[in-house]
Amino acid sequence: MSIRGDHDAVIVGGGHNGLVSAAYLARAGLKVLVLERRHLVGGAAVTQEVFPGFRYSVASYVVSLLRPEIIRDLRLPEHGLDILPLESTLTPLPGGDSLARWSDPDQTRREIARWSPRDADAYADFSRCMYKLAWALKPLLSTVPPNPLRPGVRDAKTIRELARAVRGLDEADFERLFKLTTMSAADFLSEWFETGPLIATMSASGIIGTFAGPRTPGTAYVLLHHYLGEIDGVFRAWGFARGGNGAVSESIASAARSLGAEIRTSAPVEQVITSGGRARGVVLEGGEEIGARVVLSGLDPKRTFLQLLDQSDLPGEFVKSIQRFRIRGSSGKVNLALSELPRFTCLAGAGGSLTRTPGEAETLLRGAISISPSVDYLERAYDDAKYGRFSRRPFMDIVIPSMIDPTMAPPGKHVMSVFVQYAPFALDGGWNRVKRDAFGDAVIDTLAEFAPGLRDIILHRQVMTPLDMQQQMGLTEGNIFHGELTLQQLFLFRPVTGWANFRTPVRGYYQCGSGAHPGGGVCGAPGRLAALEVLRDLKVRRGRS
Amino acid sequence: MSNLPDRSGVSAALPTPLHSRTGPLCRTSNWRRWSGFLAADSYEPSHHREYHAVRAAAALFDISPLFKYRLTGPGARALADRMLTRDVTRLATGRVLYSPWCDARGKIRDDGTLQRLGEDDYRLTSAQPTLGWITDLARGLDVSVSDESEGTAALALQGPLSWKVLAAAGARAIGSPRYFGLTRAPLGGVETWISRTGYTGDLGYELWMPADGACAVWDTLIEAGRDFGIAPAGLAALDIARIEAALPLVHTDYVPAHEALIGAQRSSPFEMGLGWAVDLDKPAFVGKEALRAETGEPPRWRFCGIAIDWDSLERVFWRAGLPPLLPHGAVRSSAPLFHKSRQVGYASSRTWSPVLKSYIGLAHIEASHGPVGTNLEMQITVEHRPARVGVRVVKTPFFNPRRKRATPA
């Protein structure tokens, strides 16, 4: 087979992780080519003007986990990355009351004390505890998982370093850490709190992107995963990228290009070319062949192994493990163009025991809004999904990006980003246009219970089902994390035990997407760590820092 | 409002002409005193949103406490030229210039902007009371110097959407003045001078109006800015932005020459990186001879930008078992800088820059250690103990977007 072998590295997929890999490899002086199927880079982190004048973060919509070392190494701020803070979380409740968590701890304490003075104090303790655990676990995010089966010298060193990182924890912290990895989010939180809406809203972090309910064991870890993000040295800080999440991808792409990487869009890769157990390049749809010393895949594990490779290139056990890898899609996304700000009953001063000032109401509309009034509500939403239906009354995580970055919509108008769960990929009877509309209606109907009049201000609505996300963005089953973030699929086990170090059974073929350690959430760590492993194998220095 | 503080009298903390607006908005009562006036440090519990409004939307600052002097008459230009280190004679009507001014030793007293409002009509802003000094300087010139500090209120509207706000507020017809340009427009029925200037290094405007019209202008801007994410912003946000723009702050980055107790506290424009603003070719100005003499010898100090190395910061905190603690806002206390064991300077301001994701500072450094790229160490305190972190001299301004000089349409 004769192919052009003029690239050091070819990267399949121009999502944020593929772009991060490209930038790090180019920085080390390699000749890098990124091949993206779509007409734009970013994968699931894209901003598109779907309706004239209104810019949607079509799928992923907030930033927290993006590794600070990547922002520094790649100088992303110089390439346009600007993260604006999301400072509050509002949980509207039936009847017009609401629970808010603010950026100011005293304000949050008073807010929670309306329900339970005990919880108000516990909230501060809980935050400190999670902070400590996040600080202890932070090194994991920048560590190549060791091989527990055949530990080499480097693996042993990694294990020692991780042990040192958790040394600062006391017995109580260890117990909590164990509980976090095994318990359900709702059970774990109920050990700390008694206020229903508080437990529900906090436990919602444990189910995002996961086909599980708040009472499903293992969901507490996903909760912790959401505390690992940091912005400006503050853990658990969440932000909104100016220009939407596409701006994150574009800043990484710009950095990669400035470092010499080439990015080709509308260039779908059909297969990875192998010979003698080694990757030699890729072939595009249409037949163009591109040779490379190494190939990296930013696609999810199913696609990386079962679609891009000839399965005879992989050991049978490995194929089975990838087939077992859980990647069930559980969420959808609804993006709305609004002619004016929605009026939430709980912010209008009507009903409830608390009247919020106009200033406070405005502040809360700049933060996250969580439709998670009770654990039962969330669990019922999951019940629907368990039996193949979308939630009739779903959990929703909402932001109004135009309140944070006014350029997302024309003056005075707004965009609303609604993350919706549950929308199972495996819908009874399958997804089609009618079901998509019905799903969109369920979202609007539920939301209108908390913000009456919403229907009248909708100028445009984009509904993304898990099938849409699979078809448009190449997320298998529409799973936003490239595979669930449950313990048996994390760290040493992501995606397959023994292959968590970004390598694959095919020499010269690497995994650099969210299906690799430490997982998804616009974190970039898989892309960075994979690139550093490639450089190690190619015996190339990391490049200038 | 009847419960407002009295605007007359000799209080140490007078309200500004905008207090009836800023007072109720300052939910935290987080006030600072600025030249004897109440100035909001931050309106909200944290300054984050106010800061981000400067960089992503539009922020509105009450800068009325600035001192403002009006120089009028045939000798106005000569007076300004005698005072400032820059050549004022070429300043056209409708233009503004920034300049420091010095004492006879060629050391900086203060810095500010000079607006040419008309043929023989100038407005000078300063950080400190300067009336007596200017009046002395005006001897023999046919010029009248008046203090309009209290009669004229001032607002700064800064940020990438500031022109959109201003246009929506009524300035669309006259168009945006060019960078360091000056124009006039009625805003909220009040005749307002609009200068394309600011203290943030972003797209922005400063507005000058009669004190009794200030609230009408404020209301108009807030109303017009609603669709553009306008935020009233305080000094905490301003302080971060001006460090990012590498703009020095009097009393923090330099001591006014006439207040210095020892010679080492004084800085010349050359030592402050303001050599570009010294015009030794013009006939005469205060400090000229000393400044000319200074050009004959290599500068002793440089005013530089530094970036604190993250890895070394993380390392010193890691040794104490802590995550790196970043300052919550701008730090106005001095931190010594070392080359090996010898102190070679000090950082006079520093801040975490949210927009640059970098810990930066402004520093006085011995000239030989001042070139961009020089590696030094800065002393900080980690868990009550001194520790040293790596810093590198970097180019300034740290943040310098193209829109800073743009003329939006």
Contact state of B48 with A72 under an 8 Å Cβ cutoff = no
B141 secondary structure, DSSP code: S
Report the gap between the CA of B150 and the closest CA in chain A (Å): 30
Measured in whole angstroms, how far is the alpha carbon of residue A80 from the centre of its chain? Answer: 21
The B-side interface with A (CB below 8 A) comprises 25, 27, 44-46, 48-49, 52, 55-57, 161, 164, 168, 226-229, 310, 321, 323-326, 352, 354-358
Instruction: Using alpha carbons, select from B258, B296, B269, B278 the residue that is nearest to residue B97.
Output: B278
> How many other β-carbons are positioned within 10 Å of the β-carbon of residue B70?
19
Q: Which one of B48, B168, B321 has the shortest CB-CB distance to A87?
A: B48
Taking the C-alpha atoms of residue A165 and residue A139, their distance in angstroms, rounded to an integer, is 7
Confidence check: pLDDT of A135 > 90:
no
B27-34: list long-range contacts, CB under 8 Å, 24+ apart.
B27/A359, B30/B234, B32/B234, B32/B235, B34/B65, B34/B235
DSSP code at position A409: S
Instruction: Name the nearest CA neighbour of B32 among B58, B57, B63, B53.
Output: B63
Q: What is the ipTM of this complex?
A: 0.93
CB A10 within 8 A of CB A292: yes
User: Which residue blocks in A423-524 are alpha helix, DSSP H?
Assistant: 433-450, 466-473
pLDDT for res A379: 98
- Is the model's pLDDT at A372 over the cut of 70? yes
Of the candidates A77, A363, A366, which has its C-beta nearest B356's C-beta? A77
Output the six-digit token pair for B191: 């005749």
- Mutate which: B52, B314, B356, B392, vs A, most A CBs within 10 A: B52
Distance from CA of B348 to the nearest CA of A (A): 22
Q: What pLDDT sits at residue A2?
A: 42
8 Å CB contact of B52 and A168:
no
Other CB atoms within 10 A of residue A228 CB:
21
Q: Which of A47, A413, A51, A416 is nearest to A244 (CA)?
A: A47
Contacts of B44 in chain A (CB under 8 A): 363
- Residue-range domains of chain B with CATH: 19-66+150-233 (3.30.1360.120), 67-147 (3.30.70.1400), 300-399 (2.40.30.110)
| Lowest-confidence pick of A76-85, A130-139, A389-398, B397-406 | A130-139
Alpha-carbon radius of gyration of chain B: 22
Is pLDDT of A1 > 50? no
Residues B199 and B248: their CA atoms lie apart, in Å, by 10
Q: Note if the bond before B298 is cis, omega within 30 degrees.
A: no
DSSP letters of A262-306?
Answer: EEESS--EEEEEEETTEEEEEEETTS-EEEEEEEEE-S-HIIIII
Which residues from chain A sit within 8 angstroms of residue B55, using beta carbons?
82
Residues from chain B that touch A111, judged by Cβ atoms under 8 A, are none
Note the pLDDT of residue A43: 97
Residue B126: alpha-carbon gap to chain centroid: 10
Question: Are residues A84 and B229, on separate chains, in Cβ contact within 8 Å?
Answer: no
* Chain B residues with beta carbon closer than 8 angstroms to that of A74: none
Classified as helix, coil or strand, A543 is coil
Q: Name the burial class of residue A285, with classes exposed (0-12), middle (13-18) and buried (19+) by CB atoms within 10 angstroms of its CB.
A: exposed
Q: Do B55 and A82 touch (CB under 8 A)?
A: yes
Q: What tokens appear for B79 in the block?
A: 């007076």
What integer pLDDT is reported at residue A4 of this predicted model? 54
A85 and B52 in contact by Cβ < 8 A?
yes
Which strand (E) or helix (H) includes residue B214? helix B214-225
Summarised one tens digit per residue, pLDDT across range A471-492 is: 999 999 999 999 998 888 999 9
Mutate to test the interface with B, among A74, A170, A231, A407 (most CBs of B within 10 A): A407
pLDDT of residue A487: 86
Residue whose C-alpha is closest to residue A84's, from B159, B24, B394: B159
* Chain B contact present for A72, CB below 8 A: yes
The partner residue sitting opposite A168, judged by closest CB among B48, B164, B321, is B321
Contacts of B308 in chain A (CB under 8 A): none
Q: Which residues of B touch A135 (CB under 8 A)?
A: 323
* Tens-digit pLDDT profile for residues A350-365: 555 678 888 899 999 9
Instruction: Name the minimum distance, in Å, from the CA of A17 to any CA of chain B.
Output: 20
Test A103 with B55 for CB contact under 8 angstroms: no
User: Choosing among B222, B357, B402, which should be mutated to test the A contact, i.e. which has the most A CBs within 10 A?
Assistant: B357
pLDDT in tens, A315-330: 999 999 999 999 999 9
Given an 8 Å threshold on Cβ–Cβ distance, is B49 in contact with A87? yes
Distance from CA of A403 to the nearest CA of B (A): 7
- Nearby residues of A505 by Cβ (< 8 Å), 6 or more positions away: A313, A314, A315, A318, A499
Find out whether B143 and B182 touch, Cβ atoms under 8 Å: no
Closest CA relative to residue B382, chosen from B314, B331, B334: B314
* Nearest chain A CA: its distance from B18 CA (Å): 19
What's the pLDDT score for residue A231? Answer: 76
Give the pair of three-digit tokens for residue B24. 């109720």
CB contact under 8 A, A87 and B324: no
> Rounded distance, CA B189 to CA A267, Å?
58
**Contact state of A77 with B358 under an 8 Å Cβ cutoff:** yes
Residues 6+ apart with CB under 8 A from B199: B63, B156, B158, B238, B241, B242, B245, B247
Report the percent of chain A where pLDDT is more than 90. Answer: 82
| Residues A406, B326: C-beta atoms closer than 8 Å | no
**Residues in chain A within 8 Å Cβ distance of B326:** 232-233
Per-residue model confidence as pLDDT tens for chain B (409 residues): 444 556 677 888 999 999 999 999 998 899 999 999 999 999 999 999 999 999 999 999 999 999 999 999 999 999 999 999 999 999 999 999 999 999 999 999 999 999 999 999 999 999 999 999 999 999 999 999 999 999 999 999 999 999 999 999 999 999 999 999 999 999 999 999 999 999 999 999 999 999 999 999 999 999 999 999 999 999 999 999 999 999 999 999 999 999 999 999 999 999 999 999 999 999 999 999 999 999 988 889 999 999 999 999 999 998 998 889 999 899 999 999 999 999 999 999 999 999 999 999 999 999 999 999 999 999 999 999 999 999 999 999 999 999 999 999 8
B119 phi and psi angles, rounded to 5 deg:
-50, -55
Please report residues of A whose CB lies closer than 8 A to that of B226: 412
* Domains identified in chain A and CATH numbers: 7-45+59-83+244-326+479-537 (3.50.50.60), 123-236 (no CATH), 327-473 (no CATH)
Can you tell me the distance from the alpha carbon of A236 to that of A227, in angstroms, rounded to the nearest whole number?
A: 4
Q: Which residues contact B390 (CB under 8 A, 6 or more apart)?
A: B308, B309, B311, B312, B375, B376, B377, B378
What does the pLDDT average to over A101-115?
95
pLDDT of residue A5: 59
- Asked if A236 has any chain B CB less than 8 Å from its own CB, the reply is no
C-alpha to C-alpha distance for A126 and A95, rounded to whole angstroms: 28
- Number of inter-chain CB pairs under 8 A, A vs B: 67
Q: Do the Cβ atoms of B57 and A103 come within 8 Å? A: no
The token pair that represents B288 in the structure block: 């000229």
Predicted confidence (pLDDT) at residue A349 exceeds the cutoff of 70: no
CA-CA distances (angstroms) from residue B153 to A131, A488, B17? 46, 64, 7
Selected residue of A82, A109, A141 to mutate for chain B interface (largest B Cβ count, 10 A): A82
Which of A107, A168, A232 minimises the CB distance to B354?
A: A232
Location of structure tokens 């676990």? A137
CB contact under 8 A, B355 and A82: yes
Cα–Cα distance list, B80 to A275, A360, A541, B344 (Å): 80, 48, 59, 36
